[in-house]
Amino acid sequence: MTGTVNRAQRTRSLVLHLVCVVVGALIVVPVWFGVLGGFKDNGQLSTNPLGWPDPWTPSNYTDILTSGVFWRQLGNSLLIAVSSTFIVVAAAAMAAFVFARYAFRGREFLVTLFAIGLMFPFAVAILPLFVLLRGMGLLDNPLGVILPQAAFGLPITIIILRQFFRTIPAEVEEAAVLDGCGSFGFFWRVLLPMARPALATVSVLAVVTSWNNFMLPLVVFTDQSWWTLPVGVQAFQGQYTAETARVLAYVVLSMVPALGFYAVAERQLIGGLTGSVKG
């Protein structure tokens, strides 16, 4: 009796594993193909797209890593991601504090306005945004990407933070006030430190969206020296259409920072996404 149950269970778990391995392979194999492909030359890619490189040709990777263009794009992406994240989290935290803990006329209207903002993707606003940025002289200027990036990140950041700020009990605020805290003191010395997990979550989300943004930098930067990684990858592909192996190496290298960041911040990212859906 127990024998059959065990066997049934074992088959079941085997099938589960099989499904997971197949799906996992669908995810991993294309990336693996890229990683190995970067170590081949084009001749090898045509005759042997699947197997191990023979011989290994690291020049695709080393050329990119020594050229400087890749590093500059990495630096640009980093600068833009960090500054826009800082701005959006700071501005959103302040607004969310007011939305969460103050009652005032027009509050619901403003909250709804920001919520509707979720419906404003770059694709909808990019054209007038471009005209506007041109008018302000912010084309080919990192601020032309950083500020809109921060602005478009406000809705989701405010929604998540507001939800979190509401959960901090009124007693904590009363205690802080008795101890002599004003609004600013409470916000700065009590609320923000308590909200550290939520702040980490929204920061990770903001970094990822900014890092992956393509349309805005594509439109704002005509000057190549400001290009971010997504724009750079796309341009590199256009430039070396015939050299598949080289492009593969560039794609793989551009994935490394994102995947590294994911490895470090996975918990915050997933917490934020699943949490925001509940909100």
Partner 1 sequence: MTSPSTVSDTRRGDPATDPPAPGPGTARQRGRQPRPGRGGVLAIFLTPALVLFLLLVVAPILVASYASLYKWNGFGLPENFVGLDNYTRAFQDPTFRGDLWRGFVLVLLSLVVQLPAALALAMLLNQPLRGRAAYRLIFFAPYVLSEVTTAVLFDLVFSPNRGLGDAIATWLSADAGAVFADPDTVLYAVFLVVSWKYFGLYMMLFLAARQGIPKELSEAAVTDGATAWQAFRHVTLPLLGPTIRISVFLSVIGTIQLFDMVWVLTRGGPIHSSETMAVTMYEYGFRRFEVGYASAISIIMFLLSLVFALFYQRIVLRRDTAGAITNQGGQR
Q: Restricting to residues 2-31, name those near partner 1 by CB under 8 A.
A: 13, 16-17, 19-20, 23-24, 26-31
Q: How far is the CB of 216 from partner 1 (least distance, A)?
A: 11
Encoding tokens for residue 110? 């403003």
Residues in 147-186 that interact with partner 1 by CB under 8 A: 147-148, 150-152, 154, 158, 163, 166-175, 177, 179, 182-184
What span, in angstroms and rounded, lies between the C-alpha atoms of 159 and 110?
A: 12
What span, in angstroms and rounded, lies between the C-alpha atoms of 138 and 145?
A: 8
Q: What burial letters (b/e) apply to 190-225, b meaning 16+ CB within 10 Å?
A: bbbeebeebbbbbbbbbbbbbbebeebbbbbbeeee
Q: Is 131 in the site for partner 1 (CB under 8 A)?
A: yes
By beta-carbon proximity to partner 1, the closer residue of 68 and 171 is 171
By beta-carbon proximity to partner 1, the closer residue of 25 and 67 is 25
Contact between 118 and 156 (Cβ < 8 Å): yes
Stated length of the chain? 279
By beta-carbon proximity to partner 1, the closer residue of 63 and 230 is 230
Q: Which stretch binds partner 1 (CB under 8 A): 54-62, 65-73, 211-219?
A: 211-219
Q: Of these, 74, 79, 125, 139, which contacts partner 1 (CB under 8 A)?
A: 125
Q: How far is the CB of 61 from partner 1 (least distance, A)?
A: 16
By beta-carbon proximity to partner 1, the closer residue of 1 and 26 is 26
Residues in 81-110 that interact with partner 1 by CB under 8 A: 87, 90-92, 94-95, 97-98, 100-104, 110
Q: Which stretch binds partner 1 (CB under 8 A): 52-60, 61-69, 126-134?
A: 126-134
Encoding tokens for residue 82? 């960090």
Q: Is 137 in the site for partner 1 (CB under 8 A)?
A: no
* Crossing angle of the two packed helices 229-239 and 69-101, in degrees rounded to 10: 150
Q: Is 39 in the site for partner 1 (CB under 8 A)?
A: no
Residues in 54-83 that interact with partner 1 by CB under 8 A: none
The pattern of x and - marking residues 223 through 242 that bind partner 1 according to CB under 8 A reads ------xxx-xx--x-----
Q: How far is the CB of 189 from partner 1 (least distance, A)?
A: 9
Q: Of these, 69, 126, 139, 200, which contacts partner 1 (CB under 8 A)?
A: 126
